[in-house]
A and B are shown apart, each in its own frame.
Chain A
Amino acid sequence: MTLAEILASAFPGGHQVAKNNGVLTGHGSLRGGGQALLVGTLDQTALGVDEAIHLARFVLADLKTGSGPILVVVDSDSQRMSKRDELLGLNEYLAHLAKCLIYADMHGRPTIGILYGHSAAGAFLATALATRVLIGLRGASPAVMDLPSMAKVTKLSVEVLEEKAKSTPVFAPGLDNLAQTGAVHRVWNEAEPLASQLEALLADMPEARDIRDVLGKERKGRVKAADIAERVHALALAQ
């Protein structure tokens, strides 16, 4: 689905977005009433300091007086790889965007990520992975690291990596692997109106806490993480 199709399907009552150099801000009218705040990336744009601060500003401005969910639509490259962005402290800008989204989610503004295109690494962390619920659409291509880069670092061929990836969802890119490890909560059915699926999700949102490790364990994609975190948690509380 294209971004235009997604927005039309999710907001039959209308939406207004402003696009600036690969980032998007705006509002969508929810079928059940009220509005959703919209932020996101498009055209596989790299997420740099300028893009991140722009999106964070829009989210923050709405937190004092606004209400309703925040939808984060994602089709980006990785973080912008440049001297300038690192010089200016890209880690702080990306962290700030993530903090704003996480804070919003903790304070009455449920955040829903909609991964419809690509995303990778630092951009993925600051957007899609900073939401409470991450929805995937078929055709989305999330990646932590692409296989050719992995091949270069590990000195294994792409073919060998692809073969190893058949037995584990833990390193190779792709929507199914990210669903199995717990990152993607649900994949929406594009044959059904997105507005219905969005409405159903909003009516039945999980609590505002991080259950991704539990999901990963249930789906057998990440079998150790939830237990290790729980054990450390218990040991620490006993101090």
Chain B
Amino acid sequence: MTTVQDPESSIHRADSTSWYEASARRRIELLLDSGSFHEFIGPEMREVSPHLRVFDLPEQFDDGIIVGSGMLGGLPVFVAAQEGRFMGGAFGEVHGAKLTGLLRAARDVKSRPVLILFDTGGVRLQEANAGELAIAEIMRAAVEARSAGVKIIGLIGGRAGCYGGGGLTAGCCSALVISEQGRLAVSGPEVIETNRGVEEFDSRDRALVWRTMGGKHRHLIGGAEVFVDDTAPAFRDAAMALIETVLGLSLDTLKSEQLRLDTRLQIFGTARDALDIWTEIGIPDAGSVPGMPAEEFIVLADKVRSIDHDAR
């Protein structure tokens, strides 16, 4: 069975390595060692969602997620990549089960790190119960895998962000890489506004969305270990570096995480906006952060924060 690749980007933007612009297939192609990717249950198997027809919605042959094995700098890995443009990258029954199976395999094999390329709005409404359950099973499998010493690296930088159950799954990873375009949260901006009003959260205030949930903030507050520019090589290098440094999951890890999260609440629990937090962290001109180019931001962030290798 041959690997299937998406030539869309390569035909129209031959030089583009933008993570944000790339399809899930293109991201895998750019992330892994050339030609090393082998897909499990590829689109030719036609394992589509059984739940979309009743809503007159089109299916996608891979149900919006690609899973398989490959090499990252010569190291064998497992990979999962969500396609954020199909149903918002949302978790459905088949979509979720592909990732569950991959993580259970990682748990049993023990020696292969897992790379999860998140691009999701959360649970797919049309299959809400199945999607939610899939995420619960994924979280369980992730903890089991990490307890067996498996390193799970999450990569966030796509159109749909990493929301809802995706956000909780990301929280179960060993470490996260995020770009400026990436967003990581549980409730989406519109959902908060609908439920609590525009005074609580104005979903159309893009600057607010990015200050609260975006890559730069997540990196500064400790929600994502590594911040990268929006290029596939940057994501690749970051993933390789993290695989070298992250540890397995133990009771000590959870205790360190408890301390880390407790401390964050103590220090920032009354902050009203990200700008307050960034100032508190030690950034001289917090207002300049959103517009700051990636390289400059990375240098600045390195000065004021540190990675807690023992936590997560």
Contact = CB atoms under 8 A, between A and B. Distances in A.
Interface of A: 49-50, 53, 56-57, 60, 63-64, 78-79, 81-83, 85-96, 98-100, 102-103, 106-107, 121-122, 124-126, 129-130, 144-145, 149-150, 152-154, 156, 164, 167-172, 177-178, 181-183, 210, 212-213, 216, 221-233, 235-237, 239
Nearest to A52: B261
A171 B55 CA distance: 12
Interface size class for chain B? 35 or more
B139 A95 contact: yes
B10 interface: no
Main SS class of interface, A: helix
Given A103-B143, A178-B129, A181-B129, A224 B97 contact: yes
Contacts of A229: 97-98, 100-101, 104, 137
Given A56-B258, A93-B261, A83 B212 contact: yes
Contacts of B281: none
20 contacts: A49-B261, A56-B261, A81-B200, A87-B271, A91-B170, A91-B171, A95-B172, A96-B257, A102-B139, A102-B143, A125-B139, A168-B54, A170-B128, A225-B134, A228-B98, A228-B101, A229-B100, A232-B100, A236-B78, A239-B69
A216 B94 CA distance: 13
Interface stretch (B25-33, B186-194, B230-238): B186-194
A216 B133 contact: yes
B140 A100 contact: no
B137 A99 contact: no
Given A106-B144, A129-B136, A90 B186 contact: yes
B85 to A, nearest CB: 17
B160 to A, nearest CB: 14
A154 to B, nearest CB: 6
Contacts of B131: 144
Contacts of B268: 88
B223 A98 contact: no
A185 B130 CA distance: 15
A212 B133 contact: yes
B14 interface: no
Given A81-B192, A171-B129, A225 B97 contact: yes
A85 B269 CA distance: 9
